[in-house]
A and B are shown apart, each in its own frame.
Chain A
Amino acid sequence: MSTRVFGEPIRRLEDPRLLKGKALFVDDVDFPDLLHVAFVRSSFAHGKIRSVDVDAARARDGVVAVMTAEDLGDYWSPGPLLVPPPPIKDIEFNNRTQVPLAKGKVRHVGEPVAIIVAESRYLAEDARDDVFVDIEPLDPAVDLEASAAADAPKVHDDLASNVAARVRQDKGDYEKAKAAAAHVVSGRFFYDHGASAPMENRGIVARWDDRSDRLTVWDTTQAPIPLRSGLAGLLGLAEAQVRVVAPFIGGGFGPKIMMFYPDEVLIPWLALKLGRPVKWIEDREESFFSTTQERSQIHHAEMAIDEEGRILGVKDHFLHDTGAYAPYGLTVPINSQCTLLGCYRVPAYSSSFEAIYTNLPIVTPFRGAGRQHGVFVMERLLDLAAAKLGIDPVGIRRRNVLTPEEFPHKHGLIYQDFTELEYDSGNYPEALEKAATEIGFATFRSNEQPQMRADGRLVGIGLVTYVEGTGIGPYEGARVTLESDGTVNVATGVGTQGQGHFTSFAQVVAEQLGVEVAKVRVTTGDTDQFHWGTGTFASRGAVVAGNACHAAALEVRRKILDLASQQFEAAVEDLELLDGEVRVKGVPDRAMTLGELAVLANPMRGAVIPGTEPGLESSRYFGPDRGTTASGVHAMIVEVDPATFEVEIKRYVVVHDCGIVINPLILEGQIVGGVAQGIGNAFYEKLAFDEDGQLLNASFMDYLLPTSTDVPKIESHHIETPSPLNPLGVKGAGEAGAIPVGALFAQAIEDALRPLVPDLTIAEIPLSPDRLFELVHGTGSDENSGGGSQ
Chain B
Amino acid sequence: MTDPVPRPAPQADRDSVPFWEGVEAGELRVQQCDACGRLRWPPREICGRCRSTASTWRALSGAGRIDSWIVAHQVFHPAFADSVPYTVLQVAVDEQPDIQMIGLYEGEGEPAFGMAVRAVFVRGSNGAMLVHWTPSPG
Partners in one complex: no
Interface residues of B (CB under 8 A from A): none
